[in-house]
Amino acid sequence: METLFFITAMSPFSILCFLVATLVVLLLLATLWFLRYRKRSKRRLNKLLGLITVRNSHDLKVLKENEEKYRNIVRLMNEGVILTDSAHRIVFVNQCACKQLKKAEKELIGKKISEFTVGKAEATRLNELLDKNRAGTVAREEFMMCRSHEEPFWASLSFSFPGHLHNLHDGAVIVMVDVSGHIMLEQKMRKMTSNVVQKVKQLDCVFEMQQMLAKPDQTVDDILRKSLRIIPKGLRHENEMRVEILYNGKAYRAPGFHKSNWYYSIPLKTDHHRVGEMIVSYIGSHPPLHCQPFRIGEKVLLKNIAEKIMIAVTMVNEKADQTG
């Protein structure tokens, strides 16, 4: 009541001065409060930044330690690991890959992986595989590689292409495994299987020939003409073989026969006298000139068949002489 009376008793100018002073005091109080709050917030922010920096430093240290562990694991793993850039040049290689290629790391870095394949065809195939793949794809192929001193070996290469889209690696990640032992075993098994199949063909051929020769009431012409059809069945390249039998000046030829550079000839004898010749010849595709077109087993088969034919022919001639 007294304050209100005091204010009403004041002049308008005095009232204005009082209001201005009041506002100034309030502004100063607000400024002091803001500065104190800002100082406290800044102190909290600095404390929080300090904690974040310590945590980031710890995380970075752990990350570097893990990266070093993983790098050591990659270097010491039992499979070769090779990293290439977008130009297919080696940028990283682990110890196992160095051992497989028998080269030091410095000899491999910067080289193209295709430089260690055997022959231009393998190098071209490898480069095409690297060129056509894109980020996120995987592939696996077997290539003939070459160690130091030009020692060849078979390698199974597994490719993955992370790609720069995933902020990983702008090239290929290649895992290399030496599979020479497996390939050699497969080739050996394939060869053994092929030999077994060939033996079965030869046995079938001999069996069919014996059945044909055992038929009664056959002439010499019948035996020789039927033999032309049966003989190729015991050979590896049955469809490319044709037979000609010369006996007592008469020729018996299979359709399409011609004497090429790849042929095998067996003399036909009776009582140690040569009475003719059996010729087996390639008419289609054939082995290279430096290779033997007929294997030993095939030559033995043809000689046995020639002997059986002559035994049958001799028996037919003897029977004809007796009946005559």
- Note the pLDDT tens digit of each residue in 142-154: 888 888 767 888 8
Confidence tier at 4 by pLDDT (50, 70, 90): very low
Higher-confidence residue of 78 and 168: namely 78
Q: Of 151, 178, 205, which residue is a domain's last? A: 178
Q: Of 178, 195, 224, which residue is a domain's last? A: 178
Q: pTM higher than 0.75 for the full model?
A: no
Q: Of 133, 152, 178, which residue is a domain's last? A: 178
Would you state the structure tokens that stand for residue 260, as one six-digit string? Answer: 């090429």
Same domain (yes/no): 215, 303: yes
Would you state the structure tokens that stand for residue 215, as one six-digit string? Answer: 């038929």
- How far apart (Å, rounded) are the C-alpha atoms in residues 239 and 243? 12
Same domain (yes/no): 172, 135: yes
Same domain (yes/no): 92, 152: yes
Rounded to an integer, the average pLDDT of 75-92 is 78
Q: Domain for residue 40, yes or no?
A: no
- Note the pLDDT tens digit of each residue in 135-181: 667 788 888 888 876 788 888 888 888 765 455 567 888 888 888 87
Q: Do 122 and 144 touch, CB atoms closer than 8 A? A: yes
Same domain (yes/no): 315, 231: yes
Domain range for residue 230?
187-323
Same domain (yes/no): 172, 234: no
CATH number at residue 114: 3.30.450.20
Q: Domain for residue 111, yes or no?
A: yes
- How far apart (Å, rounded) are the C-alpha atoms in residues 205 and 209? 6
Same domain (yes/no): 197, 310: yes
Higher-confidence residue of 138 and 78: namely 138
- % of the chain with per-residue pLDDT over 70: 80
Confidence tier at 281 by pLDDT (50, 70, 90): very high
Question: What pLDDT does 165 receive?
Answer: 47
Q: Which residues pair with 141 in a beta bridge?
A: 157
Helix axes 296-323 and 220-230, enclosed angle (nearest 10) = 160
Same domain (yes/no): 308, 241: yes
